[in-house]
């Protein structure tokens, strides 16, 4: 198979479009999560989304849908949004600490999803595509849904950027400034939930947080402002997603794992270059006795 054959394939075209969109969108909300030290929130939401996938399977089996997973993605969206709102209220009201709340989402979400899919007649093989990504089953409907969700995330991320930055940087100061911090926190959580379900097809629910966080961490190694970090992270996300997908068309490797490994390798390289550059700056800095006044 040549690269031209890949480009001309309708499945490949749909897969590349979704990968490009997800690579651009995931770092947008990821930048806010990194700033707020909630890097693992995407993992928690992803596990809850798996319960939604199971519920979608169950509904499909009861309604006699032609495809068993016809309601899987809508179910994942509903479950992810509800889970994100619940964890935000748990965090705000102090009913339990943030790490405990995430643990409850991790274990309860994935256990519930596996159990419900089993009750709906699914098998462990059916779970693989949702857990680790499966672009081989991308349909035109998936592309349309991806574009719609991406548009919502872009509108939220750009239109409310200053307000979200303020509440994620210093919530107490934002509250004192008159910003609706509760609504903005819920907006952040819901947007994260939509991002998780958006990236489900590309990297899978178990790896989605990596695509949201790792490009941001890579960008932070050589950027100094919030906006520049987001812009660079978006570019890195797009490059990583498309490059990883290209690899999977020529080698029989999972797309989600390939994309995440490439993202981590980019981070290691950039972090190494940054560390070396900092050491060079320190060693070449003139001593105080030779500084000009």
Q: What is the pLDDT of residue 7?
A: 64
Q: Which residues, 6 or more positions from 38, have their beta carbon under 8 angstroms from its beta carbon?
A: 98
123 in any annotated domain: yes
pLDDT digits (tens, 9 = 90+) for 144-190: 888 888 888 888 888 888 888 888 777 777 888 888 888 888 888 88
30 in any annotated domain: yes
Better-predicted residue by pLDDT, 67 or 50:
50
Dist CA 2 CA 127 (whole Å): 31
Whether residue 242 is predicted with pLDDT greater than 60 in this model: the reply is yes
Q: What is the total count of domains within the chain?
A: 1
Q: Give yes or no for a contact between 258 and 281, defined as CB atoms under 8 angstroms apart.
A: no
Q: What is the pLDDT of residue 13?
A: 80
Domain ranges, residue 137: 3-285
292 in any annotated domain: no
- Ramachandran area for residue 121 (φ above 0: left; ψ -120 to 50: alpha; else beta): left
| Per-residue pLDDT band at 291 (split at 50, 70, 90) | very low
290 in any annotated domain: no
pLDDT digits (tens, 9 = 90+) for 177-188: 888 888 888 888
Tokens for 273?
């270059």
Whether residue 26 is predicted with pLDDT greater than 70 in this model: the reply is yes
42-46, 97-101, 212-216: least confidently modelled range: 97-101
pLDDT digits (tens, 9 = 90+) for 99-131: 676 677 778 888 888 888 888 776 666 677 777
Tokens for 185?
């926190």
Q: Report the CATH number that the domain containing residue 139 is assigned in CATH.
A: 1.10.3470.10
293 in any annotated domain: no
Q: Give yes or no for a contact between 260 and 211, defined as CB atoms under 8 angstroms apart.
A: yes
Whether residue 288 is predicted with pLDDT greater than 50 in this model: the reply is no
Dist CA 293 CA 288 (whole Å): 10
Better-predicted residue by pLDDT, 4 or 229:
229
Q: What is the pLDDT of residue 257?
A: 86
pLDDT digits (tens, 9 = 90+) for 254-274: 888 888 999 999 999 998 887
291 in any annotated domain: no
Burial grade of 11 (CB within 10 A; 0-12, 13-18, 19 or more): middle
Neighbouring CB atoms inside 10 A of 284's CB total 7
Dist CA 17 CA 287 (whole Å): 53
Q: What is the pLDDT of residue 200?
A: 79
Better-predicted residue by pLDDT, 51 or 136:
51
DSSP character at residue 291: -
159 in any annotated domain: yes
> Could you give the percent of the chain with pLDDT greater than 90?
9
48-52, 97-101, 203-207: least confidently modelled range: 97-101
Whether residue 142 is predicted with pLDDT greater than 80 in this model: the reply is no
171 in any annotated domain: yes
| Average pLDDT value for the chain | 79
């Amino acid at each position: 198979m040549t690269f031209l054959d890949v480009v001309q394939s309708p499945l490949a075209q749909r897969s590349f479009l979704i990968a490009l969109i997800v690579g651009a969108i995931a770092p947008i909300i990821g930048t806010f999560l990194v700033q707020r030290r909630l890097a693992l929130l995407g993992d928690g939401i992803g596990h809850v989304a798996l319960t939604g996938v199971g519920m979608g399977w169950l509904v499909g089996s009861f309604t006699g849908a032609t495809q068993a997973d016809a309601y899987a993605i809508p179910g994942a969206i509903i479950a992810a949004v509800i889970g994100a709102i619940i964890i935000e209220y748990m965090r705000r009201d102090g009913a339990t600490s943030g790490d405990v709340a995430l643990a409850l989402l991790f274990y309860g979400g994935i256990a519930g999803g596996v159990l419900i899919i089993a009750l709906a007649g699914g098998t462990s093989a059916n779970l693989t595509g949702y857990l680790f990504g499966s672009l081989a089953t991308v349909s035109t409907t998936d592309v349309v849904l991806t574009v719609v969700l991406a548009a919502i995330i872009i509108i939220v991320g750009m239109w409310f950027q200053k307000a979200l930055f303020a509440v994620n940087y210093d919530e107490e100061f934002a509250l004192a400034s008159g910003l609706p911090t509760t609504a903005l926190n819920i907006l952040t959580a819901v947007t994260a939930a939509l991002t998780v379900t958006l990236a489900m097809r590309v990297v899978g629910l178990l790896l989605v947080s990596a695509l949201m966080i790792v490009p941001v961490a890579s960008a932070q190694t050589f950027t100094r402002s919030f906006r520049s970090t987001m812009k660079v992270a978006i570019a890195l996300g797009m490059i990583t997603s498309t490059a990883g997908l290209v690899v999977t068309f020529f080698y029989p490797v999972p797309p989600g794992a390939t994309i995440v490994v490439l993202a981590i390798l980019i981070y290691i390289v950039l972090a190494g270059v940054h560390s070396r550059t900092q050491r060079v700056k320190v060693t070449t800095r003139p001593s105080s006795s030779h500084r000009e006044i």
